Amino acid sequence: MSEDVVAVTFLVLCYNQQAFIDDCVKGALAQDYPVAEFIFSDDASSDGCYEKLCLAVERYGQGRPVVVRQNPKNMGLIPHFNLMMSQAKGELVVLAAGDDISFPERVSHLVTRYLSTGKPALLCSDVAAIDQNGDAAAYEPPGGFMCPALNVREAALSKFTYLGATGAVSRSLWENYGDIHYPYAYEDLVLGFRAVLDNSVEFIDKPLVYYRLGVGISTIDEPRGIHREELISCRLKEVRLRHDVLAQRLRDLHRSEQDLPAVVAVLNKRVARLAVRVNFYSARWKLFFDLFRRPAAFWSGFKREYRYLRDRT
């Protein structure tokens, strides 16, 4: 293989994105770079996404090295991501979701920057935002795009590292840190921190992806009204996400063997507090809400809990 050609895996993970998957596949397979393998993997979608994915690959994938697969049952984002990263063979893995559209020159630009900057662990880029209909939309990333100047403490506590739809991760970064162990985390919040730990991030200040707003599987919808079930479900998802991201970052920090006791201490405290909140929202919230809305039901539940604990002891 030529020195200016890198073995690239273009990995697309999709779930219930049948309305957008055709455009996604078309953009991926239109790359002007000799991608070594394209992997399209569906996480047991229930909306016909897999069938539409197969049709799109048949339409646009002639002559391309393409693998199309589907999980027998839904795994969830992180287990699915871990599985596919274990199967990807490329030195550089370009990541995409089933609702975004890659520019034809995306991989070419990523590989050029990868080779010219000493093969960084992570590359990301700017985006052109679009809405559900494919029309241009305004978008301001929270906190701005990730900057290589972020220090480890800032990255450890950050709620935004880089836009995952634009990412490309080196095989070496994944092998150094291994699977993501916390299933409610988001992969970009983990990979971004790992790259900062290694001081190995490159941002390309140019749109290489059409990023679709408001439809991704990582979108947390705000509850409408004050219905208890909706409110608790939303809060639980937010708290679990935050807990698992910080817990994984703590694990990765230990794996890096960097001597950063202050950062470890802060992460330990945050993870412990979030664990309490996860338990509250997932196990004890009904009693709490009943105290205010149905006090009689609350005290009835409290007495049952008391009797149970008393009998156990």
Read off the pLDDT of residues 233-254 as tens digits, 9 standing for 90 and up.
888 899 999 999 999 999 999 9
Question: What span, in angstroms and rounded, lies between the C-alpha atoms of 302 and 227?
Answer: 23
Residue 207 shares a structural domain with residue 125 = yes
Give the pLDDT band of residue 231 (cuts 50, 70, 90). confident
99 in a domain, yes or no? yes
Residue 65's domain comprises: 8-212
Residue 205 shares a structural domain with residue 237 = no
12 in a domain, yes or no? yes
In this structure, what is the dihedral angle of CA atoms 182, 84, 36, 175, given to the nearest 10 degrees?
40
Give the CATH number for residue 138: 3.90.550.10
Q: Which residues pair with 10 in a beta bridge?
A: 38, 94
Say if residue 60's pLDDT is above 90: yes
Residue 168 shares a structural domain with residue 49 = yes
Q: What six digits make up the tokens of 151?
A: 């220090």
Q: Which tens digits make up the pLDDT trace of 89-125? A: 999 999 999 999 999 999 999 999 999 999 999 999 9
Residue 115 shares a structural domain with residue 233 = no
117 in a domain, yes or no? yes
Mean pLDDT calculated for residue range 263-279: 92
221 in a domain, yes or no? no
Say if residue 310's pLDDT is above 60: no
124 in a domain, yes or no? yes
Q: Which tens digits make up the pLDDT trace of 48-58? A: 999 999 999 99
Give the pLDDT band of residue 220 (cuts 50, 70, 90). very low
What's the structural domain count of the chain? Answer: 2
Residue 19 shares a structural domain with residue 157 = yes
CB contact at 8 A, 125 and 204: yes
Residue 100 shares a structural domain with residue 247 = no
Residue 182 shares a structural domain with residue 292 = no
Residue 61 shares a structural domain with residue 147 = yes
Residue 202 shares a structural domain with residue 105 = yes
Question: What span, in angstroms and rounded, lies between the C-alpha atoms of 209 and 187?
Answer: 18
220 in a domain, yes or no? no
- Between these two residues, 168 and 276, which has the higher pLDDT value? 168
Residue 52 shares a structural domain with residue 151 = yes
219 in a domain, yes or no? no
Give the pLDDT band of residue 232 (cuts 50, 70, 90). confident
Reference 39, options 72, 6, 88; nearest CA is 88
Coarse DSSP helix, strand, coil percentages of the chain, rounded to the nearest 5 percent: 50, 15, 35
Q: Which of 212, 245, 275 is the last residue of a domain?
A: 212
Looking at every residue in the chain, the average pLDDT score rounds to: 88
Residue 159 shares a structural domain with residue 306 = no
What pLDDT, on the 0 to 100 scale, is given for residue 218?
A: 53
Q: Which residues pair with 128 in a beta bridge?
A: 210
Residue 161 shares a structural domain with residue 201 = yes
Q: Which of 155, 186, 212 is the last residue of a domain?
A: 212
